[in-house]
Chains A and B, each alone.
Chain A
Amino acid sequence: MIERIYLFKRFERFWHWSQAALALTLLITGFEVHGSYSLLGFGQAVSTHTTAAWLLVGLWIFAIFWHFTTGEWRQYIPSFDQLGAVIRHYSYGIFLGRPHPYRVVPERKHNPLQRLAYLGLKLAINPLIWASGIAYLFYAQWRDLAPAWLGLQEVAIAHTLGAFMMLVFLIAHVYFTTTGPTPLAHIKAMITGYEETH
């Protein structure tokens, strides 16, 4: 029997997809600023990157507000219950055609592995990118106050490190969207809000 659960509310979907677009833009323009390739031209890459960054900051402010007012932040509290089962599923259960061990309900819509991954994103990768990015952007304003060991190079390296972590997250995240009942099931859920469970 197919059951439809309303999992992702309208703001959440808006937030997710605009964040996805901005993150992708930031990765593409960011690695151009980094000098990895030439696409828009350095100046255009910088302005696009900066604009996208400020938009993302604005979006995050709304998202953080939303998470706390709706209590949705609880979705990211780590849980180790069934973590082993989920890891075992992705390690071999999935190849044997076994169903996913985790039962999704709106109050707990992320499996324990997702909870850990998203918490890591929100508590480690994002803050690293935020802090280093703002330091990068406002370098001219604080350079005179900085200790000798801290210059643009250190900031740039921290920011690049964050970018690589985000890139790896993105690769894994995009792949995991295909591991649902059908390859596009999870993506459909993130578009319509409804997840079909089996």
Chain B
Amino acid sequence: MIKNPSRAGGRLARHALLACLLLVALNAAAQTPAASDAAPARTEVKESTAEHGKFSQLKKPFKTGEEVTEACLSCHTEAARQVMATRHWTWDYVNPSTGQRLGKKTMLNSFCIADRSNEAFCNACHVGYGWKDDRFDFSSERNVDCLACHNTGQYAKIPGLAGHPAYQRMEYPPDSGKFVEAVDLPKVARRVGKTSRATCGACHFYGGGGDGVKHGDLDSSLKQPDRKLDVHMGVDGGNFTCATCHKTESHRIAGSRITPTASDPHRAILRGEKTDRNPASCQACHGDQPHQPGPGAGLLGSLTRGDRLNAHTRTLACQTCHIPAFARGGVPTKMFWDWSTAGTLDADGKPFQKKDEHGHVIFDSKKGDFRLGENVEPDYVWFDGRVDYTLKSDRIDPAHIVRINAFHGDAGEPDARIWPVKRFRGKQPYDLEHLTLLVPHTATPDDTALWFNYDWDRALAAGTAAAGQPFSGRFGFVETEMLWPITHMVAPGEQALGCVECHSRDGRLKAVSGVYLPGRDHSLLLDRAGFGLAGLALLGVLGHGTLRIFTRRKHKGHGND
């Protein structure tokens, strides 16, 4: 019933539009009678104007990644300089709103904790070649890895090789019995292309040490998702690549969780429009009033569902309703990671793993205990886009859960919206005397790394030394929490949350304060007084009625009619 006015309005608008188009078309046909002759014969046309396979520069027996980069730069002369100006290269960033020095180079998290002393392993995800310690040359253009993002398959940077792929078949880690095949560099180089879900995903789907571990809304299921998993990226939906939204100019990629856009109360960005807005926000394409309004666009239109939903955009992030759950693609995400049990060996002194009924690892002597989640209902928090982090130099209070990052924002602030987040918890090492979170040395094979020696003392001594962190030698494990904004895995509209998911006494927004939420909130006093009074009124009339029935019988003889 409610929908009719808006539909009728929409139909009217569509008819009007159709009529206009028809007029324009007739007009055009009248003016250019030969227009139909101009249609070219259909041929298979490549999207790109350049076929890299035909380039002589790329027909070389490349031995190393750096040689490929030099070939790329012989035409794309500015590309390396552009990349080197981005966080993909620097892993270093000063947050302008807090002044905190951020970026993977310095930050801690509650997954693999930090890359310091583990560079050769972790920095397989650096867009460069050779970053294995603090002597890496950040100014050398040939160290930039073009292929990491521009390969179209069969290229992999191996953890442990400091950003290099395997140039020959090799056993890695040494003496592990596991072999890595050599990459065919000449072939990969001749088939370069645009970035894809697979190239971005090669790192961003595997953050935190494995598929889906870190984000919850990014995992390998997004390589070939259906539209039910992600309406934009779905191969049967928009088939977007990451760069469709994360619009890139001069290798600067828009949109980042380090400086997120929590609210964007504007209409859609027009093509060609000069703007500082983040093109990766939902509103950049959909605008901030994305639901079909009723007639009168909001004034009379408070009648309609579309207007009512549009009014919600003042309070909610789009993601809150449109991502009903994360880790929906069949890949579980880590929800809890307890490092304190890492190093536990079996009766024979050997490392071991435990798996759950689905075959997912839930304990590993290297890493400790995990709890995994699939189809996880997010937590919801007020968020205005400002985040600050607990850095390795910050003092912590081990009596409370240490927040690795803190999302700011309060109800009623113009920039704050209610956002869905993954609330990741865990336990990780801290210094009992200095009260700081500690960087362990874990991943590269030597005689101090935790994953090869199962000895926390040596691992922390080596990790903190590499990180330039004081370490008293006494350590414990503190509970930590980290929030991850949920923004991918946007479901089709019909799967968006229904009203009652939040508008009920026990709904999803139960813990979100600062806003009056009909259906959830009520004045207990008024309810008691109101229902009490109604109850008394009911008792009163029932009593009065009963008394009438009894007395009426008594007086019936007197004739009441």
Chain B residues within CB distance 8 Å of chain A: 1-2, 298-299, 302-303, 305, 307-308, 310-311, 314, 498-500, 503-505, 515-516, 518-523, 526-527, 529-531, 533-534, 537-538, 541, 544-545, 547-548, 551-552, 555, 558, 560-561
Closest 3 pairs (CB-CB, A-B): A164-B530, A97-B555, A140-B311
A153, B516: Cβ atoms closer than 8 Å: yes
9-residue interface stretch from A62-70, A75-83, A106-114, A167-175: A167-175
A35, B516: Cβ atoms closer than 8 Å: no
9-residue interface stretch from A3-11, A44-52, A119-127: A44-52
User: Which residues does chain B contribute within 8 Å of A90, judged by CB atoms?
Assistant: 544
B533, A164: Cβ atoms closer than 8 Å: yes
Among A51, A141, A153, A178, the residue within 8 A (CB) of B1 is A51
A141, B299: Cβ atoms closer than 8 Å: yes
B246 to chain A, nearest CB (A): 31
A101 at the interface (CB under 8 A from B): no
B551, A96: Cβ atoms closer than 8 Å: yes
Main secondary structure, interface of B, reads helix
B122 to chain A, nearest CB (A): 47
From B305, B521, B530, residue with most partner A Cβ within 10 Å:
B530
User: Which residues does chain B contribute within 8 Å of A139, judged by CB atoms?
Assistant: 311
User: Which residues does chain B contribute within 8 Å of A178, judged by CB atoms?
Assistant: 545
User: Which residues does chain B contribute within 8 Å of A129, judged by CB atoms?
Assistant: none
A168, B519: Cβ atoms closer than 8 Å: no
Among A43, A141, A167, A181, the residue within 8 A (CB) of B530 is A167
User: Which residues does chain B contribute within 8 Å of A95, judged by CB atoms?
Assistant: 547-548, 551
Among A34, A38, A141, the residue within 8 A (CB) of B500 is A38
A17 at the interface (CB under 8 A from B): no
Chain A residues within CB distance 8 Å of chain B: 33-36, 38, 41-43, 46-47, 50-51, 54, 90, 94-97, 137-141, 143, 151-153, 156-157, 160-161, 163-164, 167-168, 171-172, 175, 178-179, 181, 198
B245 to chain A, nearest CB (A): 28
User: Which residues does chain A contribute within 8 Å of B538, judged by CB atoms?
Assistant: 171
User: Which residues does chain A contribute within 8 Å of B314, judged by CB atoms?
Assistant: 140, 143
B526, A42: Cβ atoms closer than 8 Å: no
Among A43, A156, A160, the residue within 8 A (CB) of B498 is A43
Identify the closest chain A residue to B525 (Cβ): A157
- Docked complex Cα distance between A56 and B534 (Å): 23
User: Which residues does chain B contribute within 8 Å of A171, judged by CB atoms?
Assistant: 534, 537-538, 541
A156, B533: Cβ atoms closer than 8 Å: no
User: Which residues does chain A contribute within 8 Å of B529, judged by CB atoms?
Assistant: 164
A34, B551: Cβ atoms closer than 8 Å: no
B410 to chain A, nearest CB (A): 14
